[in-house]
């Protein structure tokens, strides 16, 4: 989608017909093939007259853009080349700015007993190889199925003392190099008969090697470089001259061919092997070399360490065997990793100061770009070369994808990785298969990127994190991971306002509106909550993180307090009486700490009930007025009342119990974690009788219905199988439950009668599924229901940068930001009977109790002639039997950038029907009166007028004769006009006026003032008082004598 700046350019607004008109201007009138050229003034006048829109200044700017050489003329060839180049750049930008769509994370089978040190792709065979600390090599197939494992052997140490520090693939010679803590590097052959037989061993290195890298020349593969970084800060390069023939010179023929050739590092430094030579430098001092790379296009060694003065070092290899020319780059706290993009000539570094820096190799003073957003140390970076994007991974297990050109965060992934303590983390991205492998100690996690199925309309330039509906302004408010807030018109989907960088470089995680809906609360990963008006002015900054960058998951704006959750076990509270200054500090929560893990979500029900859910599955009910914890909601029937004598004892007691919420395998979120909590409106009485009044969801796709009065669960079911973490929302009437998963699927459930009556055991039966559709192609991040124009709608935000509006229940209407705008006032709803009449084939499929068609909507083309149709959720009686609910699609269509296409799966469309009747009766399927049928009125014939209306003089003649007409008002003359201004004081006695004019101390009258807004009546109840009414213009004053 074109940006606002691009949309202002004339060339972005030219259609195909406009281009044809411009082409005719350069054609000869006699039909010859000789192309014409035009001067600037001639081009402006003729193009402006031919196209018919745009200004002369815009055509002048177009001429200047084409005539870059300032020759003073242009022809059709130059103009067409300029336009094609612009379209190519837009296409390239759209392709590189596409957000990766990851499939659900999958954990590979556990084969390693220690931390994984390295992962490599074997190239031609398509297999993968991983090496762990204890010396285990795991071989994986192309689809990452474990084929076999092998234990490395090294005769220098005992097997129990073997410690692998690194592994690298030598692709051009089909070998791997493995480094050990015994100061050795061994070379194993991949093609030998004996699996992983050791051919060469380089021993007696100066220090223990911990990082390896291998590079070979793409055109001359016999030239290769093996880079080695050690724990003493030394970087060594082993340069091979004839790698395809032999890496090292073998001894005399008397030595067996299959034996291991041992070479000491001193021999290599002395030049005894003519097929290779070494180069070294010690610019890092005594600090460990975390990562080392040989940059082939630059002929330089790049290495990083945790030293601030020599964080990044480039050692230029200017002469074959000469010393290296060293260049040092300085950062604040050192670096943990680096990567190089040869096409962009940029070096990306992972900083221990939570920043990712982009460096020009020839500029030492400062980085050319700083990517901020991580809140902990960045441990790994890797370029996606084809898309010109960068992957970064931080210590708190948050993965971010950056657009290098714009230096913006396109995607953020968190909560899907294993919850392990301090561990060694490794990131490996396979470019050709778009596979991302991450290791956490011995666990290897796979993230597979989905293939792009075509361009999709994006509402934001990055992932949409939250969406709200403002009924006061009738607008939709959305936020993204680039710290932007956008306002949209609900009726058409047009963008109204955009506020960029609301939290600087920090991502906006959640938002909330106050009770008046005139103030917007935004929370960022910088640990701050800001209060805005809708003119873009920030009124307050709430220091929720207390100066620390934290991730806020939810904000609750109540009448007297603002509650913030997400990063700690305690509720962070701000009292509204403290909002007199711009910077607001949090107050103390009186209820102390009762959660044993971080609070992720909360829900509030007036007047004073508050419930909070933790990442370990705990749900605690609070009294918001006293801020005391009341009870803990548990999965059993037993009620848990909290004791306030010892908060730590409560957490210890919970920790002793058998844990059911440990990290799920596969890097999935804790299966018992609570991600959303919602009170069910209108069920307060049901809770007293044993029904459900609270609903929650978590990381295992499970939805639970709770009874807060008895502190127990009354119903649960799996809404999304094998989908990881889900979110939910409930409409304001408590009838529809909407759930969403990591793959973009939305499901709507009818819960009006679900768990409303008490039961002896927990209900595991699912409620009725009304619809299931895929509104997004990536994780759904937020859901919001709203009533707009007496119609119920669903707003869904996703990590695929789209914001979708749908009927509830019903089909998708469109994506905010699409080219063709919808008109909600003209969109009607179709009934099931009309659908069957339009599509008789679908009416035959009525054998199943409930048929749910699953769709994957992209972008709707809401033309008035083909508007969105909804599905009828009413059961119609037919011959005394109720027909089963049928959900189907009237017309499978989807549109990409305003163009409609037929496809096997899409969104629902139908013709407009503003007045829908079934058998002459209007059906209302939403609301309190959904069972009523308003029948169409019968036509009324023309009424006959009575005779007294036609001939009134025959009936009312006597009344007219006795009627005395009202005389006309007297004419206004000069004599009747006022000659002076009217003085109101002349209406009152002289003694009253004297009492009023006297000083307050000398008055004998007591003044009592009463304001009467509705009428001018006042009753004084004091006996023996004299009242004088002074009739000024309202208000009315009474002076009373005591």
Q: Write the secondary structure of 967-1025 as one string of H (helix), E (strand) and C (coil).
A: CCCCCCCCCCCCCCCCCHHHHCCHHHHHHHHCCHHHCCCEEEECCCCCCCCCCCCCCCC
Question: Is the predicted pLDDT of residue 128 greater than 80, yes or no?
Answer: yes
Is the Cα torsion angle 66, 71, 76, 80 positive or negative in sign? Answer: negative
Contact call for residues 411 and 463 (beta carbons, < 8 A): yes
CA distance 467 to 817: 14
Beta strands 583-584 and 538-542, pairing class? parallel
Question: Is the predicted pLDDT of residue 863 greater than 60, yes or no?
Answer: no
Going from the C-alpha of 470 to that of each of 54, 240, 513, 720, the distances in angstroms are 36, 67, 8, 30
This prediction's pTM: 0.51
Higher pLDDT, 480 or 257: 480
- For 71, counting Cβ atoms within 10 Å of its Cβ (0-12 exposed, 13-18 middle, 19+ buried), the class is exposed
Two tokens, residue 678: 């919602």
- Mean pLDDT along residues 298-311: 91
CA torsion 114-115-120-121 (nearest 10°) is: 70
Tell me the pLDDT tens digit for each residue of 252-302: 654 555 688 899 999 898 888 888 999 999 999 889 999 999 999 999 999
CA distance 360 to 312: 12
At a CB cut-off of 8 Å and minimum separation 6, what does 165 contact? 117, 179, 180, 181, 208, 209, 210, 211
Q: How many CA within 13 A on the CB side of residue 759?
A: 16
pLDDT at 347: 95
Two tokens, residue 904: 């096997």
Q: Where are the beta strands (DSSP E) in 554-634?
A: 554-557, 561-565, 572-575, 583-584, 599-605, 609-614, 619-623, 628-633
CA distance 571 to 623: 13
pLDDT at 32: 61
Tell me the pLDDT tens digit for each residue of 434-467: 899 999 989 999 998 876 655 578 888 889 999 9
Going from the C-alpha of 921 to that of each of 528, 871, 917, 927, the distances in angstroms are 55, 17, 5, 17
Contact call for residues 436 and 876 (beta carbons, < 8 A): no
> Which residues partner with 791 through β-bridges?
788
Question: Is the predicted pLDDT of residue 805 greater than 90, yes or no?
Answer: yes
Tell me the pLDDT tens digit for each residue of 669-710: 456 788 899 998 877 677 778 888 899 998 788 899 988 888
Residue with tokens 């039961």: 759
Question: Is the predicted pLDDT of residue 1011 greater than 70, yes or no?
Answer: no
* Local structure of 225: helix, strand or coil: strand
CA distance 742 to 396: 21
Contact call for residues 304 and 295 (beta carbons, < 8 A): no
Peptide bond before 625: cis, by omega within 30 degrees of 0?
no
Higher pLDDT, 220 or 642: 220
Q: What's the helix, strand, coil split of the chain in %, to 5? A: 15, 35, 50
Q: What angle do CA 185, 188, 190 make, to 5 degrees?
A: 150
Question: Is the predicted pLDDT of residue 651 greater than 50, yes or no?
Answer: no
At a CB cut-off of 8 Å and minimum separation 6, what does 6 contact? 12, 90
What are the phi and psi torsion angles at 276 (to 5°)?
-155, 165
- Where would I find the H helices in 69-221? 76-96
Contact call for residues 524 and 502 (beta carbons, < 8 A): yes
Is the Cα torsion angle 429, 435, 440, 441 positive or negative in sign? Answer: negative
Question: Is the predicted pLDDT of residue 931 greater than 80, yes or no?
Answer: no
Q: DSSP per residue over 711-777, as a string?
A: TEEEEEEESSTT----EEEE-TTS-EEEEE-TTSEEEEEE-TTTT-S--SS-B-PPPEEEEEEE--S
> Which residues partner with 601 through β-bridges?
613
CA distance 169 to 188: 10
Peptide bond before 809: cis, by omega within 30 degrees of 0?
yes
Which of the four pLDDT bands, split at 50, 70 and 90, describes residue 1010? Answer: very low
* Local structure of 66: helix, strand or coil: helix
Highest mean pLDDT among 34-43, 192-201, 787-796: 787-796
Burial 26-52 (b: 16+ CB within 10 A, else e): beeeeeeeeeeebeeeebbebbbeebe
Is the Cα torsion angle 684, 688, 690, 696 positive or negative in sign? Answer: positive
CA distance 805 to 1032: 57
Question: Is the predicted pLDDT of residue 807 greater than 50, yes or no?
Answer: yes
> Which residues partner with 934 through β-bridges?
922
Which of the four pLDDT bands, split at 50, 70 and 90, describes residue 191? Answer: confident
CA distance 832 to 811: 14
Q: Report the chain's C-alpha Rg in angstroms.
A: 38
Length of the chain in residues, anyone? 1042
CA distance 394 to 15: 46
- Where would I find the H helices in 739-884? 832-838, 840-843
Q: What is the mean pLDDT of the chain?
A: 77
Going from the C-alpha of 897 to that of each of 6, 454, 459, 783, 866, the distances in angstroms are 16, 10, 12, 24, 17
Question: Is the predicted pLDDT of residue 806 greater than 60, yes or no?
Answer: yes
- Mean pLDDT along residues 419-435: 86
CA distance 235 to 315: 9
State CA 656 to chain mean position distance: 37
Which of the four pLDDT bands, split at 50, 70 and 90, describes residue 960? Answer: low
> Which residues partner with 263 through β-bridges?
202
Higher pLDDT, 1015 or 631: 631
State CA 54 to chain mean position distance: 37
> Which residues partner with 737 through β-bridges?
730, 749
Going from the C-alpha of 312 to that of each of 36, 168, 438, the distances in angstroms are 57, 21, 24
Centre a 10 Å sphere on the Cβ of residue 785 and count the other Cβ atoms it contains: 17
Higher pLDDT, 251 or 711: 711
Is the Cα torsion angle 567, 570, 576, 579 positive or negative in sign? Answer: negative
Contact call for residues 772 and 808 (beta carbons, < 8 A): no
CA distance 487 to 725: 28
At a CB cut-off of 8 Å and minimum separation 6, what does 935 contact? 920, 921, 922
Which of the four pLDDT bands, split at 50, 70 and 90, describes residue 90? Answer: confident
Tell me the pLDDT tens digit for each residue of 148-166: 999 988 888 888 888 999 9
- Mean pLDDT along residues 932-959: 68
Contact call for residues 918 and 875 (beta carbons, < 8 A): no
pLDDT at 797: 94
Contact call for residues 206 and 270 (beta carbons, < 8 A): no
CA distance 619 to 607: 19
Highest mean pLDDT among 14-28, 730-744, 1004-1018: 730-744
For 25-39, 185-199, 417-431, 547-561, which range has the lowest pLDDT when averaged over its residues?
A: 25-39
Two tokens, residue 954: 């025959």
* Local structure of 47: helix, strand or coil: helix
CA distance 368 to 361: 10
CA distance 810 to 887: 9
For 95-104, 474-483, 965-974, which range has the lowest pLDDT when averaged over its residues?
A: 965-974
Peptide bond before 505: cis, by omega within 30 degrees of 0?
no
Highest mean pLDDT among 900-909, 939-948, 999-1008: 939-948
């Amino acid at each position: 989608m074109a940006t606002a700046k691009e949309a202002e350019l004339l060339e972005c607004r030219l259609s195909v017909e406009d281009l044809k008109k411009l082409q005719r201007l350069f054609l000869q009138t006699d039909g010859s093939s000789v192309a014409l050229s035009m001067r600037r003034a001639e081009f402006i006048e003729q193009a402006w007259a031919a196209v018919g829109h745009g200004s002369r200044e815009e055509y002048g700017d177009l001429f200047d853009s084409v005539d870059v050489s300032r020759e003073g003329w242009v022809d059709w060839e130059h103009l067409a080349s300029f336009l094609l180049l612009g379209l190519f750049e837009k296409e390239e930008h759209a392709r590189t700015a596409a957000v990766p769509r990851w499939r659900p994370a999958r954990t590979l089978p556990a084969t390693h007993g220690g931390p994984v040190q390295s992962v490599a792709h074997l190239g031609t065979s398509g297999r993968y190889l991983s090496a762990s600390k204890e010396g285990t090599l795991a071989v994986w197939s192309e689809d990452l199925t474990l084929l076999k494992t092998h234990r490395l052997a090294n005769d220098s140490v005992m097997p129990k003392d073997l410690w692998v520090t690194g592994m690298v693939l030598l692709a051009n010679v089909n070998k791997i190099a493995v480094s050990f803590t015994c100061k050795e590097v061994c070379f194993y052959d991949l093609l030998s008969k004996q699996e992983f037989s050791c051919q060469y061993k380089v021993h007696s290195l100066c220090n223990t090697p911990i990082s390896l890298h291998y590079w070979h020349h793409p055109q001359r593969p016999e030239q290769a470089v093996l880079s080695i970084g050690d724990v003493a800060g030394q970087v060594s390069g082993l340069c091979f001259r004839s790698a395809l023939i032999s890496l090292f010179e073998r001894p005399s023929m008397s030595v067996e061919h299959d034996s291991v050739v041992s070479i000491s590092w001193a021999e290599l430094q002395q030049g005894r092997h003519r097929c290779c030579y070494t180069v070294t430098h010690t610019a890092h001092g005594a600090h460990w070399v975390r990562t080392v790379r040989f940059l082939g296009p630059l002929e330089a060694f790049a290495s990083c360490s945790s030293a601030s003065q020599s964080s990044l070092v480039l050692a230029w290899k200017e002469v074959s065997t000469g010393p290296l020319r060293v260049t040092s780059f300085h950062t604040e706290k050192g670096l943990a990793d680096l990567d190089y993009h040869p096409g962009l000539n940029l070096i990306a570094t992972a900083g221990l100061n939570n920043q990712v820096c982009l460096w020009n190799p020839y500029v030492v003073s400062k980085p050319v770009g700083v990517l901020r957003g991580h809140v902990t140390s960045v441990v790994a970076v890797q370029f996606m070369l084809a898309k010109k994007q960068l992957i970064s991974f931080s210590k708190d297990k948050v993965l971010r994808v950056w657009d290098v050109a714009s230096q913006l965060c396109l995607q953020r992934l968190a909560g899907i990785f294993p919850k392990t303590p301090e561990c060694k983390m490794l990131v490996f991205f396979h470019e050709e298969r778009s596979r991302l492998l991450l290791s956490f100690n011995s666990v290897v996690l796979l993230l597979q990127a989905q293939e792009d199925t075509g361009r999709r309309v994006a509402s934001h330039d990055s992932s949409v994190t939250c969406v709200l509906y403002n009924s006061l302004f009738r607008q939709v408010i959305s936020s993204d991971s680039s710290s932007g807030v956008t306002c949209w018109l609900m009726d058409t989907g047009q963008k109204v306002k955009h506020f960029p960088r609301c939290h600087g470089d920090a991502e906006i995680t959640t938002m909330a509106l106050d009770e008046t809906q005139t103030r917007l609360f935004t929370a960022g990963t910088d640990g701050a909550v800001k209060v805005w008006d809708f003119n873009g002015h920030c009124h307050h900054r709430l220091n929720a993180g207390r100066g620390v960058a934290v991730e806020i998951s939810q904000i609750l704006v109540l009448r007297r307090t603002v509650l913030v959750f997400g990063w700690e076990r305690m509720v962070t509270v701000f009292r509204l009486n403290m909002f007199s200054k711009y910077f607001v500090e949090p107050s103390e929560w009186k209820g102390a700490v009762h959660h044993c893990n971080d609070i992720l979500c909360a829900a509030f029900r007036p007047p004073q009930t508050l419930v909070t859910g933790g990442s370990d599955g705990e749900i605690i009910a609070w009294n918001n007025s006293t801020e005391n914890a009341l009870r803990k909601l548990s999965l059993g029937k037993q009620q848990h009342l909290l004791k306030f004598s010892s908060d730590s004892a409560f957490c210890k007691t919970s920790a002793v119990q058998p844990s059911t919420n440990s990290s799920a395998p596969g890097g999935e979120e804790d299966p018992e974690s609570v991600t959303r909590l919602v009170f069910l409106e209108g069920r307060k009485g049901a809770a007293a009788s044993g029904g459900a009044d609270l609903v929650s969801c978590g990381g295992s796709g499970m939805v639970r219905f709770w009874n807060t009065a008895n502190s127990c669960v009354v119903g649960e079911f799996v809404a999304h199988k094998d989908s990881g973490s889900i979110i939910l929302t409930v409409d304001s009437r408590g009838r529809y439950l909407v759930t969403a998963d990591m793959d973009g699927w939305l499901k709507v459930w009818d819960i009006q009668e679900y768990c409303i009556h008490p039961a002896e055991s927990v209900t595991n039966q699912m409620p009725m599924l009304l619809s299931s559709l895929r509104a997004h192609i990536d994780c759904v991040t937020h859901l919001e229901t709203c009533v707009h124009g007496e119609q119920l709608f669903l707003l869904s935000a996703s990590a695929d940068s789209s914001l979708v509006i749908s009927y509830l229940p019903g089909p998708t209407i469109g994506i905010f930001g699409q080219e063709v705008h919808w008109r909600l006032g003209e969109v009607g709803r179709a009934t099931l009977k009309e659908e069957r009449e339009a599509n008789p084939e679908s009416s035959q499929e009525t054998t199943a109790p409930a048929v749910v068609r699953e769709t994957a909507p992209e972008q709707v083309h809401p033309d008035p002639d083909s508007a969105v149709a909804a599905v009828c959720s009413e059961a119609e009686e037919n011959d005394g039997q109720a027909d089963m609910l049928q959900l189907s699609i009237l017309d499978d269509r989807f549109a990409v950038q305003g163009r409609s296409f037929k496809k096997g799966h899409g969104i629902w469309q139908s013709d407009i029907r503003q007045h829908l009747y079934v058998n002459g009766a209007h059906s209302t399927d939403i609301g309190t009166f959904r069972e009523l049928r308003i029948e169409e009125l019968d036509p009324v014939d023309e009424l006959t007028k009575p005779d007294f209306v036609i001939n009134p003089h025959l009936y009312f003649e006597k009344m007219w004769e006795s009627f005395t007409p009202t005389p006309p008002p007297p004419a206004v003359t000069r004599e009747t006009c006022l000659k002076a201004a009217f003085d109101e004081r002349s209406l009152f006695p002289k003694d009253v006026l004297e009492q009023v004019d006297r000083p307050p101390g000398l008055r004998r009258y007591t003044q009592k003032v009463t304001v009467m807004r509705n009428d001018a009546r006042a009753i004084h109840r004091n006996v023996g008082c004299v009242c004088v009414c002074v009739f000024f213009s309202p208000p009315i004053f009474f002076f009373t004598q005591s």
